[in-house]
Structure 1
């Protein structure tokens, strides 16, 4: 079953990759002359069909892995992040069936592809559930929360497209800088995936010791563990590593490894972004803006809002209501101010504010779009930052 699941997983990955290429070809190979916010070219049609193929095969990958393990496969970082990618693509397929805006896939497909690739960075082994996860609430709470986050991601894609369509990047310097930074954040995640998978494909490993014992690094250890010796672990490009140790106030056993990952992400993202910027010879947001010029801004604004209106109650049920019921059963308390719980509350409050400003204060257009874009950063920290950086009751998700 696991081998079959891997085949389906690989098929889904290459389907999303093919769909991304088709969408890029469809947007860059001819000028957009869309009516009613649609761009139903040959390329985007086939991109949509291939995304459907990817959703079906990834659904089969999740099902076969679940049959093998005997539980819904959302218990570790590989399983959860790949499931999140699945919900993003599934949400796009359903929403596009109603709104007929296939060009949205040009933004959604790369997001789903990169998140699925990011999931591949983590170990894929299917291990028995630890006692804290042995509950039917795992199926209800985690899958519903992921579905809500997937739908909210569609709001981000539509909001970003709205800003690119309506903003004159040559005149509004502040907005242009924020949009360029948003584009840079995407390449930050992409560069981390490329760097991590590249070193893993090369079989890179380095053992680093410190006060907390010994930890195996899969990236060159620029940062060592607290109490470890500098320059005594390994060499990379002639440099004795680690160059420095994690500060003492970072008490987690893998604090040095976490800080090392962050440092490598920053370095690789600056290199990738710098190369692409040099090739384009202008801000990347301007390049992307040329692809979407001509789309119906009002439709994109409405689509971004509708995605929040649908995703918000789903996220509320999964990440808060069901989570608190399970917490009471597992830990004897509805709320423990665990970092994951707290940031889920922050995310919920953020989208509550979005709906308040949209419905009560009349925030539409750019104000609403910026909130949708910033909301995706909030979700990313909930799913990535909290799990990998902050220790708490949900730290088992790192395994």
Structure 2
């Protein structure tokens, strides 16, 4: 059996099923139509099963837990998010959470698909059973904490006043920017040829840089619209510029078509929701996700670091930001339990916490050089 082909087809099927499930979920969230709930749930469960088929087939194809690169990790993150939403929604009988969660999962899956899905041999430090233990635990905990982000957004959509809505709209804009990155990257990979240019690095040597996206910023005088100094990585900045350009245009087009902000567009889907229950779900998700992150992101990580590099802690950027994320959620729980913070304040903290998770899993992996870099 061609397990690579099976895994790719299963993941594509899951993506399509989730995309279709948004429609009956949206209708059921506004109308409480029982048949729509059943159809949406059936599609979501089929998508989750298809995702698990991808994971098992990919594992068989590569011979190790498929969480060793950016494509595999983000894909597994998306799988765990759907699993976490199905679990928590079934416990609280609040299936409307899935209507808001599925688009986030699709963005995560789409983001992962931008990176190469080719199987590469593991470097020596990754050739350990701790790869599966550490990374799978981190992905699972991040997915559960992401549920807190989703329910917090739902809470704020229903309650936030004008000033808070502006900041919430900014969060929506950032999600659109990620979609812009996915769209422009996919388009260029399908229809444009990569460009390779020479540039002088910080040490004065000559290097080659391959640009997937059309060159706007460059370290080479003969290419790009803007010449940058060698102290700035023009290739990475070029990707950021394109993401904001395409994402900004996409955001404006949607605004012009619907003549509403994203918050105004989504607010009607929150009218039937219980605020106390949303706040409770967010709190419970953090109570579950935080100790799991403590295990995977710190405890298991330090054990693996000792085995791979001979030290438990080395102030690597990934380690530092994992600690910052852990301290932030510890402070959030402290404020909730001792200062009785709840509602809008803890909702914003949960959103910031999700931002830290995304920063740690994406920006630190790809932009900041370190031992954990997926670049």
Fold conserved between structures, TM > 0.5? yes
CA contact (8 A) 1:117 1:193 kept: yes
Q: Per-residue deviation at 1:44? A: 3.2
1:77 CA drift (Å): 0.4
Q: Does 1:247 align with 2:229?
A: yes
Deviation at 1:192, TM superposition (A): 1.0
Q: 1:112 aligns with which of 101, 105, 115?
A: 105
Distance of 1:246 and 1:326 partners within structure 2: 39
SS of the aligned residue for 1:355 comes to: helix
Normalising by structure 1, we get a TM-score of: 0.89
Higher relative CO (Cα under 8 Å, sequence separation at least 6) belongs to 1
- Structure 2 counterpart of 1:95: 88
Q: Is the 8 A contact 2:27 2:33 kept in 1?
A: no
Q: Measure, in 1, the Cα distance between the counterparts of 2:209 and 2:178.
A: 24
Q: Determine if the alignment matches structure 1 residue 144 to structure 2 residue 155.
A: no
User: Alignment partner for residue 193 of structure 1, among 171, 182, 191?
Assistant: 182
In the alignment, structure 1 residue 50 sits paired with structure 2 residue 43: yes
In 1, Cα distance between the equivalents of 2:65 and 2:123?
13
Corresponding position: 1:375 with 2:368: no
Alignment of 1:6-21 (within 5 A): 6-21=8-23
TM-score when scaled to structure 2? 0.95
Q: Greater CA deviation, 317-326 or 283-292?
A: 283-292
The answer to which structure has the higher helix fraction is 2
> Aligned residue for 1:358?
336
Count of aligned pairs between the two proteins? 368
Question: How far apart are 1:378 and its partner, in Å?
Answer: 0.9
Aligned to 1:235: none
* 1:40 Cα deviation after fit: 5.8
Partner Cα separation in structure 1 for residue 367 and residue 338 of structure 2: 36
1:280 aligns with 2:280: no
CA distance in 2, matches of 1:78, 1:244: 30
Match of 1:163 among 156, 162, 166: 156
What per-residue deviation string (whole Å, max 9, x for no partner) do you get for residues 333-364 of structure 1? 11111111111111111111110011111011
**How is 1:1-399 mapped onto 2 (pairs within 5 angstroms)?**
1-27=3-29, 31-32=30-31, 39=32, 41-167=34-160, 172-211=161-200, 212-225=206-219, 228-231=220-223, 242-250=224-232, 255-395=233-373, 397-398=374-375
Which residue in 2 is equivalent to 1:35?
Answer: none
Rounded to whole Å, the distance in 2 between the matches of 1:377 and 1:216 is 29
Structure 2 gap ranges (5+): 201-205
* Rounded Cα–Cα distance in structure 2 between residues aligned with 1:245 and 1:143: 41
Contact map agreement 1:230 1:244 (CA 8 A) in 2: no
Identify if the C-alpha distance between structure 1 residues 296 and 57 changes in structure 2 by more than 3 Å, giving closer, same or farther: same
User: CA shift at 1:289, angstroms?
Assistant: 0.6
Equivalent position SS for 1:298: helix
